[in-house]
């Protein structure tokens, strides 16, 4: 019955989370008996050995009291109705879920269930690690938040998702951008209280944002405070990010079809953006009065980007160019060719697997799209030609001071 209420991506993910909680406790999903009406089938039936639970659950995109109390009431009534259809004794259980539920709302839900349905087991879960269950032996599923916001689970956690997927890297750049100058990283700036606000700022689904917040919180890289979400243990996180970044993307040597002067790359890029993109690199946001990234599909990377950002250290390296769509037409518009380029390349094209984190965070340097400082640090760190020295210079001169200044 619950699927009519939460038949969406958030509901599906939270339903998987709920089922996983039961499985990891050693409990088993069982086939339901035929019901007199399709409306009287439980969302889940769980066998815990001596007890069998019929689960009705509801989810909301927001963890607000005015959203969750009515859903709890509905789940209680439906769980009681479904339980009466079973030939043997079963325990009705009502569960509500949301991406993030404040402790105060959890307390109100607990009190509501205690007052109006003491004979029904209840559960409250969220994507940030909250696991509150009460009644009929359900308490063994509970997990409590510590003072730091991390979760101390009584059962095993869900398997880790890819912390450094393309969209996660983009959101990480947003969360870290508060202490990095806008001239070095293009991203929405602000304090985010929850997954909803982060998703809106990043232009991603709420599901993607709350998954990232859940994992960062559970792994101790994110804390919730009165000022909003706060990144912590950043140096350790950056080392994890760096390890995950090794070998990402592929590189193609290319050459100029007709060689030009020292400004050939700059001129070719400006022409390509003007003709292929059909719009300027940045556009004006009249509401906020600031420049916002128009996400180009090409940008300068690695050592050339470090030079343009003002933190270059290695001289004489060939340019690297990120290109989202490396088809023949794009190469032609840039004046480049891959034919016979392996022996004497002029430029290396880097082709990211997806590239949202690269292109959305690119900054504008005199009309040229340039990789942000975090991306440059990641990219040059594994480069065989003095890459580690360049990365160390960037970390020492800009990244480490920025993160220390932010108290993180």
Nearest to 345 by CA among 268, 255, 250: 255
Q: What angle (nearest 5°) sits at the alpha carbon of residue 402, between those of residues 398 and 407?
A: 155
Q: What pLDDT score was predicted for residue 2?
A: 44
Q: What pLDDT score was predicted for residue 159?
A: 40
User: Which tokens hold the place of 362?
Assistant: 């690119």
CA–CA gap between residue 111 and residue 108 (Å, rounded): 5
Q: Rounded mean pLDDT of 94-121?
A: 91
Q: Rounded mean pLDDT of 271-275?
A: 85
CA–CA gap between residue 407 and residue 233 (Å, rounded): 10
CA–CA gap between residue 129 and residue 14 (Å, rounded): 11
- Domains annotated for the chain, with CATH where assigned, are 3-153 (3.40.1350), 166-245 (1.10.10.10), 250-388 (3.30.460)
SS (H, E, C) the chain: CCHHHHCCHHHHHHHHHHHHHHHHCCCEECCCCCCCCHHHCCCEEEECCCCEEEEEEEECCCCCHHHHHHHHHHHHHHHHHHHCCCCCCCEEEEEEEECCCCHHHHHHHHHHHHHHCCCCEEEEEECCCCEEEECCCHHHHCEEECCCCCEEECCCCCCCCCCCCHHHHHHHHHHHHHHCCCCCCCCCCCCCCCHHHHHHHHCCCHHHHHHHHHHHHHCCCEEEECCEEEECCHHHHHHHHHHHHCCCCEEEEEEECCCCCCCHHHHHHHHHHHHHHCCCCEEEECCCCEEEECCCCEEEEHHHHHHHHCCCCCCCCCCEEEECCCCHHHHHHHCEECCCCCCCCCEEEEECCCCHHHHCCCEEECCEEECCHHHHHHHHHCCCCCHHHHHHHHHHHHHHHHHHHCCC
What percent of the chain lies above the pLDDT cut of 90? 45
Place of tokens 């606000």: 197
Least confident window among 1-5, 9-13, 218-222, 276-280: 1-5
What percent of the chain lies above the pLDDT cut of 70? 83
Q: What pLDDT score was predicted for residue 126?
A: 85
Q: What pLDDT score was predicted for residue 4?
A: 32
Q: What pLDDT score was predicted for residue 11?
A: 62
More confident residue, 149 or 48: 48
What's the whole-number average pLDDT of the chain?
82
pLDDT at 375 > cutoff 80: yes
Least confident window among 15-19, 177-181, 399-403: 15-19
CA–CA gap between residue 245 and residue 301 (Å, rounded): 15
pLDDT at 202 > cutoff 90: yes
Q: What pLDDT score was predicted for residue 177?
A: 93
Residue 327 CB contacts under 8 Å (≥ 6 apart), including other chains: none
Q: What pLDDT score was predicted for residue 359?
A: 94
Q: Rounded mean pLDDT of 175-188?
A: 93
Q: What pLDDT score was predicted for residue 35?
A: 52
User: Which tokens hold the place of 61?
Assistant: 């995109």
Nearest to 205 by CA among 214, 213, 196: 196
- Pairing state between β 282-285 and 250-256: unpaired
Decide if 54 contacts 92 (C-beta within 8 A).
yes
pLDDT at 17 > cutoff 90: no
More confident residue, 13 or 116: 116
CA–CA gap between residue 18 and residue 129 (Å, rounded): 11
pLDDT digit string, tens, across residues 307-341:
999 998 888 889 999 998 878 888 988 999 988 88
pLDDT digit string, tens, across residues 212-269:
998 888 788 888 777 788 898 898 899 889 888 876 667 899 999 998 888 899 999 9
Indicate the pLDDT class of residue 291, thresholds 50, 70 and 90.
very low
- Start-to-end CA span in the chain (Å): 46
Q: Rounded mean pLDDT of 280-296?
A: 43
Place of tokens 């086939």: 31
Q: What pLDDT score was predicted for residue 151?
A: 41
pLDDT digit string, tens, across residues 129-151:
789 999 999 999 987 654 444 44
Nearest to 369 by CA among 282, 240, 276: 282
Half-sphere exposure of 147 (CA within 13 A, CB side): 0
CA–CA gap between residue 158 and residue 20 (Å, rounded): 7
């Amino acid at each position: 019955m619950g699927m009519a209420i939460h038949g969406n991506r958030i509901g599906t993910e939270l339903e998987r989370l709920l089922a996983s909680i039961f499985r990891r406790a050693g409990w088993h999903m069982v086939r339901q008996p035929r019901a007199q009406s399709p409306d009287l089938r439980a969302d889940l039936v769980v066998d815990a050995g001596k007890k069998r639970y019929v689960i009705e659950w509801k989810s909301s995109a927001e963890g607000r009291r005015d959203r969750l109390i009515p859903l709890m009431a509905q789940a209680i009534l439906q769980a009681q109705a479904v339980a009466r259809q079973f030939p043997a004794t079963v325990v009705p259980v009502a569960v509500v879920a949301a991406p993030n539920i404040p402790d105060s709302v959890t307390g109100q839900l607990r009190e509501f269930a205690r007052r109006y349905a003491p004979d029904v087991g209840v559960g409250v879960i969220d994507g940030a690690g909250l696991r509150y269950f009460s009644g009929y032996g359900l308490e063994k599923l509970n997990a409590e938040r510590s003072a730091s916001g991390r979760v101390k689970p009584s059962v095993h956690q869900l398997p880790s998702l890819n912390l450094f997927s393309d969209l996660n890297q983009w959101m990480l750049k947003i969360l870290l951008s508060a202490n990095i100058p806008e001239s070095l990283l293009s991203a929405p700036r602000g304090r985010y209280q929850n997954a909803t606000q982060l998703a809106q700022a990043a232009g991603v689904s709420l599901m993607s944002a709350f998954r990232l917040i859940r994992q960062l919180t559970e792994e101790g890289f994110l804390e919730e405070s009165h000022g909003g979400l706060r990144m912590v243990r950043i140096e350790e996180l950056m080392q994890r990010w760096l390890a995950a970044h090794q070998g990402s993307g592929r590189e193609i040597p290319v050459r100029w079809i007709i060689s030009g002067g020292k400004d050939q790359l700059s001129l070719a890029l400006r022409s390509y953006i003007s003709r292929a993109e059909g719009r300027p690199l940045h556009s004006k946001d009249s509401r906020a009065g600031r420049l916002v990234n128009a996400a180009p599909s090409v940008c300068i990377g690695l050592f050339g980007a470090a030079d343009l950002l003002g933190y270059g250290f290695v001289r004489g390296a060939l340019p690297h160019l990120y290109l989202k769509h490396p088809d023949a037409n794009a190469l032609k518009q840039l004046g480049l060719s891959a034919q016979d380029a392996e022996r004497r390349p002029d430029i290396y094209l880097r082709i990211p697997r997806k590239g949202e984190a690269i292109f959305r965070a690119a900054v504008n340097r005199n009309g040229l799209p340039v990789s942000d400082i975090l991306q440059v640090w990641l990219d040059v760190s594994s480069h065989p030609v003095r890459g580690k020295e360049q990365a160390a210079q960037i970390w020492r001169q800009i990244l480490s001071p920025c993160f220390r200044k932010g108290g993180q």
